[in-house]
Amino acid sequence: MKPHRIRLTHQLLLAYGLYRHLHVYRPFPASVDEMSNFHSKQYIDFLRSATSETHFSKQTLNKFNVGDDCPLFDGLFQFCQLSTGGSLAAAAKLNKQKAEIAINWMGGLHHAKHSKASGFCYTNDIVLGILELLKYHKRVLYVDIDVHHGDGVEEAFYTTDRVMTVSFHKYGRNFFPESGEFAAIGADSGRFYTVNVPLKDGITDETYQLIFQPSMHKVMEVFQPCAVVLQCGADSLSEDRLGTFNLTLNGRVGKFDSDIHFD
């Protein structure tokens, strides 16, 4: 995750004129207490003290999984506050019926775990946003179309029947995070409320839709969610340096309006 990409996204929104069709809202940074609704206080305190010049023991860095994929940088905690605050504000808008659709362009950090960073993700704004939605909604559906499995979100809600997680992703050895097999279906009260759709390299728009459409139709019919959270990782698009799918914008996004809807 490179924070400067958020500025590029903002510039694209301006250049394409999309902002004219949106109500732009600047959220407040998430507080320590808000982030601690999912993450451990010890982990959040670590993020608060972390900078590029802070010296931590190797044991501490390993404990919080900070290093290669999740390096320390100046302004890290402020970045986490803004990313998380955006998703919390989006959930609040939906809860108060001030919007039907809310987007956090800076969110979607689906790998972060309860007490550690993972896969370029430090705080899991998605989990925190869903927890906010659950204050007003009985059932929340989470759909992940990133090329990587949404393991952090799945793990957080693996034992509950109030959140169904559905992930369409590449699955295989040596491909991060090496989870998301078809047999992972949830546990305890959450059994059958986890759906994983592992896919292979090079999948095209046509094949993707043959899988996505009937799967989502059945999910919507059976689970009947009160709210839907969608993670749109761009790395499932063709020519992404990390992804291995052959999907286009038209095929990947164009059908969502009919596949994910409320009767």
Long-range CB contact pairs, 163-166, < 8 A, 24+: 163/130, 163/134, 163/139, 163/190, 163/193, 164/139, 164/140, 164/193, 164/194, 164/195, 164/219, 164/223, 164/225, 165/193, 165/194, 165/195, 166/141, 166/142, 166/195, 166/196, 166/197, 166/215, 166/216, 166/219
**149 labelled catalytic:** no
Nearest 10 degrees: Cα torsion 177, 178, 184, 187: -50
**Known binder of ligand: residue 33?**
no
**Known binder of ligand: residue 151?**
no
DSSP-based helix, strand, coil % in the chain, nearest 5:
40, 10, 50
**Which two three-digit tokens encode residue 17?**
């004129």
Q: Across the beta sheet with 140-144, what order do the strands follow?
A: 194-199, 163-170, 140-144, 227-231
**Known binder of ligand: residue 137?**
no
| Distance (Å) of CA 133 to CA 3, 84, 148, 181, 229 | 26, 14, 24, 27, 10
- Token pair 């009160």 in the structure block, residue: 226
Active-site residue, from 111, 137, 149, 169: 111
**Which two three-digit tokens encode residue 144?**
């992940």
Could you give the residue numbers annotated as active site?
111
> From the annotation, which residues make up the binding site for a divalent metal cation?
146, 148, 235
> From the annotation, which residues make up the binding site?
146, 148, 235
